Structure 1
Amino acid sequence: NKNSITIIGDNTDLYAQGYFEYDSKKSGGVTISHLRFGQHPIQSEYLVNIADFIALHKPAYIGRYDVLEGIRPGGVFLLNSVWNKEEVFEHLTEDMQRTIIEKKIKVYTIDAFKIAQEVGLKTRINTIMQVCFFKISGVLPEAEAIDLIKKAIYKSYHKKGDEVVKMNLTAVDRSLEALEEVPVPDKITRPAPVPKLIPDEADDFAKKVIEPIMHFKGNSIPVSSLPDDGRIPTNTAKLEKRGVAELVPHWLPEHCIQCNQCSFVCPHAAIRPKQVLPADLEKAPASFVTLVANSKNDKNLKYRLQVYIEDCVGCGVCVETCPTKEKSLVMVPLEEERAAGQNDNESFFEKLPDSWLDGNKIETVKGSQFLTPLFEFSGACAGCGETPYIKLATQLFGPRMIIANATGCSSIYGGTFPVSPYAKNKEGKGPSWANSLFEDNAEYGFGMRLAVDTIRKELLANMNAALAAGLEPELTEAFQKMKELWNDRGDEAKKLAERIQTLLPAALARKDAAYPYLTKVVEFQDYFVDKSIWCIGGDGWAYDIGYG
């Protein structure tokens, strides 16, 4: 689009401006290009509110955003999609169909992704969509526009080699042949359903804040709906289901050796293994294929590798990492996996019990990946090298993690309002996360460590005071055992902490001499097991911005 506005500005008498809106996702984010040109001077930067031409590069946005908002009567809508011209209209929502019919919009379609794949550009469709714009708009004679595009291609890509230039030039010619006008009926046909983004049981924050922002309607949110203390709930990135990948991994179980390396390297926790009891598979979808688990166990466990296709960003790192001679994962179109029932498979997979580790040790690559990741579906770049480490840390320590985060990449993909990729397990436990400045994260995290140590010291003092005041035998025994396990962070300490929490209400109800001490124990009961405190940061914290 920058090339397009440059071509118009340099080769016509028109005034031209390109202005761009970006969301905060680092991968699969939305960019809205506002291209303005005309015979009068442009005095400032403007968004285009009334458009003659709207192009949609990702069909996943249909129904999620009001794509045709502000289109002028008689305007043009260009759609990149896999559907042929006879199918396109029925894949638009009712609101879009109504707008097109009432405003007499001309609709064009092209499968830009297919052309990009065939000429070797992979998922890069910018050149293809640029050609379509000039062919449809008529702002320049077609032959002249194509000649200028080809010159711009050479200027942009010649340093990358003749092959890259050739691929783009081929894409130009292929685009001219493949662009089709969509027949528009006189009345609304069978429209596509509007995707439901937020479940009915979601909380007020999700409904009043997250959902409008998902639809690009954030400016409509009243201040009264926003948190007044800077806190937002975690476990919300999973609501987005962005569907931004053109290609997603498809599992080929016949080749799989169950090494879990694909899950280990996935930057977005979008591919996950589980070991499953046979009894839990009785109501599995027909396409929910499993293998006999090759881990040593006495439960006849089954093995399933599940791809979260709507959350995948299509980086392909899992395929690259797969060590089998014939790859156990191949990249296929997202629509193909939707049609194969992978969304239903994911829903079933999610409901299965987590973390059957039989035959595996959590300190191994394979074993660690059977633990639930509590960092998922972030806005990090496709193929990010940082997030797999954070994900792994949450698998090992997540239910008791407190994270001090330094401003930088990790604050963008880790805490962009309004959703959080930090998640909760089925018991409602997960990391707590807070962001600081570039440079002071060590002090920030150290303060958290001191605070937790102080709280635990006070908790222990009140436990001792309650014991001295007298407690029921069962709680006395539990407190004494907790003191023995005070520095233990393993399963025994965690189970004992849960047991004490079930005994405390009855002890409080007696309101005896131990009551004032037990009230403090209840206040700090989440600290029976020590917290795992982490400082996470990047180049800003390390004082090497501009030097790395």
Structure 2
Amino acid sequence: MAKKMIACDGNEATASVAFAVSEVAAIYPITPSSPMAEHADNWSAAGKKNIWGQVPRVFEMQSEGGAAGTVHGALQAGALTTTFTASQGLLLMIPNMYKIAGELTPTVFHVTARALAMQGLSIFGDHSDVMACRQTGFAMLASSCVQECQDLALVAHASTLESRVPFMHFFDGFRTSHEVMKIEALEDGVIRNVIDEKYVKACRERCLTPDRPTMRGTAQNPDVYFQGRETVNPFYAKVPEIVQKYMDKVASYTGRQYHIVDYVGAPDAERVIISMGSSTCTIGDTVKYLNSKGEKVGLVNIRLYRPFPMEAVVAALPKTVKKIAVLDRCKEPGSAGEPLFQDALTAISEAVMAGKMAMPKMIGGRYGLSSKEFTPAMVKAIYDELAKADPKARFTVGINDDVCHTSLTIDPNFKLESDFFQAMFFGLGSDGTVGANKNSIKIIGNETDNYAQGYFVYDSKKSGSMTTSHLRFGKSIIDAPYLIGENEADFVACHHTPHLESVNMLKYAKDGATFLVNTPHSADTVWDTFPRPVQEE
């Protein structure tokens, strides 16, 4: 059967699966998860059916707390229910999340991981919100690209039904949620085959009904509460095995094999990075490049973060590893280390105490807060730091920290070789540039044999401020979740001529690139309207 290739973003890829396997979606749109809710609402209104031939019901509430309460109620009634959220919205769902998990109720929350309001509000992406939910009892599954958003959404829905542990499927806000990529679409028949009907039936039979009275939501005293909390342990112990089973099942239909923990790199690597989310695509490509130049480096990509797969993490590490850098996309002020670092350190320390390996040098770093860029040059800086005799125990990468001096030095000239066409468009919010470029990259992805990627940078003020569109296309899969850099663009377009006064667009153009200016002036007079520095360049 021919593969069905489509160009879509992470939100649409995720929502298509969530809608197909749900009967109820409770929504309260919040950036950058809003498109998932909007897709579900539109599909429901248009009468689109799920894999069981029903039209899912979508309820828009007046807050995220109301959406979470609706999810909890619908689950108790036996309906397969989902929701979409991020950031402060996710935090408002935490009280219900504790109840849903405590009652071992299957559901999936799809989260476009986003920064929380700290010293300032940010609508952009990092892992601050999902890390605030580690204690709720939700399993946590991370996707690193648009294709994974679709595939792992299905893994999450199938796994929650069998394990009874609720899942949070998360991916990087904007960087993955709004990135347009060409992916292989899952057919409804595949989705239907992956979902095991006997667990759907079991879920329905646990619903509240007068026909089978049960007691729930009681108040418990010290004589039984502790024991009750411990009774969930066997359910969580089975989650890694169940998730891997459904990853294998998806692979049997699609050929795309995922593991709860994956290793990329040299089998005899001495320096290894542990990370999750979209950063793993950048690290993985850089690892392959560095190893081709004679380095011995590797990456451990963690997809299942909760329950933390300690044995799988240790098993993924090459026996030769001497130094490890663990990357977190969040900051936990005052802690001994950020969450992923502490989990990885615990897993490896226990393996060392059990005599399974020698203790490597481990350091922890922060990157990419509020969608700060994370590039191959930064990956190389981390491996270079690991190569030092005494690397920094805690570091940051991607900023210049001249206060605490935690930042690593980056070589701006380090770039990966690419064989795809790269184009940049500078526009003004609401002038149509972004919409036109989304259409362009989808046309290239849907109507040609090219793989395609589109990413769009907005100011948080959106309308009226500058937008930058980054488009890539070529004959091979494009796994580059970072912006087009200086001297890399084959094509640069200025759609708003006043930008020429304030933005050095030509620095992005490689030698021989095309520069397009949208201007009311004629070809004969336009040169005189350019600022002198632009003329000189």
Normalised TM-score (structure 2) = 0.29
More strand by share: 2
Normalised TM-score (structure 1) = 0.29
Q: Indicate the structure (1 or 2) with the bigger Cα radius of gyration.
A: 1
